[in-house]
Amino acid sequence: MAKNLLIIDNENLDETIEELHKQARKKSIALNCYPLYIGLPDGNDVVDDNGKIDLKLVRKKFEENYGETRFHMVASDFALNDEIVDGIDIIKQFNNISNTLKAKKILYSSELEEIVQGYLNDHKKSKKNFDEAWDKFKTLIKIDIVDFAKREEVESKIISYIEKVVDDNNDFIIDNLLANGDLEFNGSMDIYRGYSLKEIADKIKDNDEQANAFKIKLIELAIAELIELKDV
């Protein structure tokens, strides 16, 4: 099954995606890359009148473009040409979206050393600055990223991590439900009747208490259909 990568930046990603596909082919990895541009210049459709990133517009853009796709990894540039919103805020956002909730997360930056050095320098100024600097490091831990990579290494890092992602038994069902997410389920069973297929996919991803019963019933119906076809 192909691995789906959501890659986020404020500048064109064509060369990065080309390199990712090149490295993926060398390892026989089927990789789909989905760019999401956030911030000026290329992501100007998610900024407000003051040129600042609007996280509500980010969420809307994602849902409109990729709302029916389940992602195995999310990679975001740290610096998005915004004084307030950075890659940490973006990763936090995607930690709360069902399509990307379980995806591996990675940050990257061409200014990684400067960012880390800035964190370290902050604590030298005062006790308050130390607390703020420590909070920044704790935030990096809490958002559960697998790596914070240098920009020139991000392609190889992504391939290394996404190669290790293993699909579980739910993924085939979830992918097919999401592919028809706006349709309503009116099957021959009561479980989730009236839900949209996307809502059912979310239930399965969230390990809803009825999810196992739903999957078992699907298998039973599929087997019954096979038996019926055999008897025709």
**How deeply is 207 buried, as exposed, middle or buried, from its count of CB atoms within 10 A (0-12, 13-18, 19+)?**
exposed
Same domain (yes/no): 188, 73: no
> What integer best gives the mean pLDDT of the chain?
86
Domain CATH number, residue 40: 3.40.50.2300
Band of residue 175 on the pLDDT scale cut at 50, 70, 90: confident
Same domain (yes/no): 183, 98: no
Same domain (yes/no): 110, 214: no
If you average pLDDT over residues 146-162, what whole number do you get? 95
- Number of residues written out for the chain: 232
Provide the pLDDT for residue 119: 60
Q: How many CB atoms lie within 10 A of CB 38?
A: 30
CA nearest neighbour of 98 among 138, 71, 58: 71
Same domain (yes/no): 118, 45: yes
Same domain (yes/no): 179, 78: no
Band of residue 177 on the pLDDT scale cut at 50, 70, 90: confident
Provide the pLDDT for residue 173: 80
* Residue where one domain finishes, among candidates 162, 180, 203: 162
If you average pLDDT over residues 177-195, what whole number do you get? 81
Same domain (yes/no): 8, 106: yes
Same domain (yes/no): 52, 155: yes
Domain of 186, in residue numbers: 171-231
Secondary structure string (H, E, C) spanning the chain:
CCEEEEEEECCCCHHHHHHHHHHHHHCCCCEEEEEEECECCCEHHHECCCCCECHHHHHHHHHHHHCCCCCCEEEEECCCCCCCCCHHHHHHHHCCCCCCCCCEEEEEECCHHHHHHHHHHHCCCCHHHHHHHHHHHHHHHHCCCCEEEEHHHHHHHHHHHHCCCCCCCCHHHHHHHHHCCCCECCCCCCCCCCCEHHHHHHHHHCCCCCHHHHHHHHHHHHHHHHHHHHHC
Provide the pLDDT for residue 116: 67
Same domain (yes/no): 16, 88: yes
If you average pLDDT over residues 162-191, what whole number do you get? 80
Whether 49 has a pLDDT exceeding 60, the answer reads yes
* Residue where one domain finishes, among candidates 134, 162, 190: 162
Number of domains in the chain: 2
| 127 Cβ contact partners less than 8 Å away, ≥ 6 residues apart | none
Would you say 13 and 7 are in contact if contact means Cβ atoms under 8 Å apart? yes
* CA 106 – CA 77 distance, rounded (Å): 9
Residue with the bigger pLDDT between 208 and 119: it is 208
Same domain (yes/no): 89, 23: yes
If you average pLDDT over residues 157-177, what whole number do you get? 84
Residue with the bigger pLDDT between 135 and 93: it is 93
Same domain (yes/no): 42, 62: yes
Provide the pLDDT for residue 230: 57
If you average pLDDT over residues 158-162, what whole number do you get? 96
Q: pTM for the complete prediction?
A: 0.75
Same domain (yes/no): 34, 131: yes
Whether 137 has a pLDDT exceeding 80, the answer reads no
Provide the pLDDT for residue 130: 61
Provide the pLDDT for residue 134: 64
Provide the pLDDT for residue 66: 95
Same domain (yes/no): 147, 89: yes
* Residue where one domain finishes, among candidates 130, 162, 194: 162
